[in-house]
Amino acid sequence: MEAYDLLKAGIADIMGECADETAEKFKKLTEYMTEYNKNVNLTRITEPMDVVRLHYLDSAAVFACADIKAGASVIDVGTGAGFPGLVMKLLRPDLRLCLLDSSNKRIAYLRSAAELLNLTGIDFVHGRAEEVSREKGYRDAFDFAVSRAVASLPKLCELCMPYVRPGGRFLSLKGPDAEAEARAAENAVKKLGGGNMQIRPAPIRGGEVEHYIVSVEKTRPTPAQYPRKNAAIKKEPL
């Protein structure tokens, strides 16, 4: 199966359909990302079939595991090369998206990629997650925070949950260890204003690795002392 046949079939599994125009945009993004990656480190995954399975379909699986209403506000914390946020916006242009990353080079790439794909309604933010969440307009402000960052769930909760409004959700894309990480994060979720944590399998067409979405409801505003400084988060997770 060709990479973009897999993409269309995999997206259709999740969204019900994948228009040819949408598949073409993903193809254009792959070509642009691969070329840009020669000068700026965005991803180690560059083969089209791997990009489709491990980046695009993995990111799209969010929609199979969460009810994301039209016009919802979403912040992708530590977005890197735009996963899952940029994929979510390609599939759902109605979303109000914020892409946050600590690397200005990656933010510059994301701006140019969004322009290439004619995507609007995106806020590009260069900054550290534990600092930006204390700024006006970002704290307790989003319907959803999403993250595919490589960090343990207790740490991710402290970085991401301050962005979510009460009633919203934090969605973390995880692998086979999702259940163990969720158990380890129970104390963090409680302290940060969360509850009702769910773990949902996210099967991906053509994928062999287990994928899960950990969904955490925000039940009350995050206490003012969180998030702590990054060194404290790393040294002593909640």
Predicted confidence at residue 48, as pLDDT, reads 92
Q: What is the DSSP letter of 97?
A: E
Pairing of strands 194-201, 212-218: antiparallel
Coil, strand or helix at 91: helix
Tokens linked to 122: 């995106």
Query: Which residue in 203, 206, 202, 200 sits closest to 7, CA to CA?
Result: 206
pLDDT digit string, tens, across residues 32-82: 999 999 999 999 999 999 999 999 999 999 999 999 999 999 999 999 999
Query: DSSP letters of 19-33?
Result: -HHHHHHHHHHHHHH
Model pLDDT, residue 82? 97
By C-alpha distance, which of 149, 169, 152, 175 is closest to 79? 149
Q: Judge contact between 121 and 97, C-beta under 8 A.
A: yes
Answer yes or no: CATH 3.40.50.150 is held by domain 3-235.
yes
- Residue 140 near residue 192 (C-beta atoms within 8 A): no
pLDDT at 150 over 80: no
pLDDT at 1: 57
How confident is the model over 177-224, as pLDDT tens digits?
A: 999 999 999 999 999 999 989 999 987 877 677 889 999 999 999 999
Distance, in Å, from the CA atom of 98 to the CA atom of 139, rounded to the nearest integer, reads 13
pTM of the model: 0.95
- Pairing, β 73-77 against β 142-147: parallel
In the chain, where the domains are located: 3-235
Mean model confidence pLDDT for the chain: 94
Tokens of 209: 């690795």
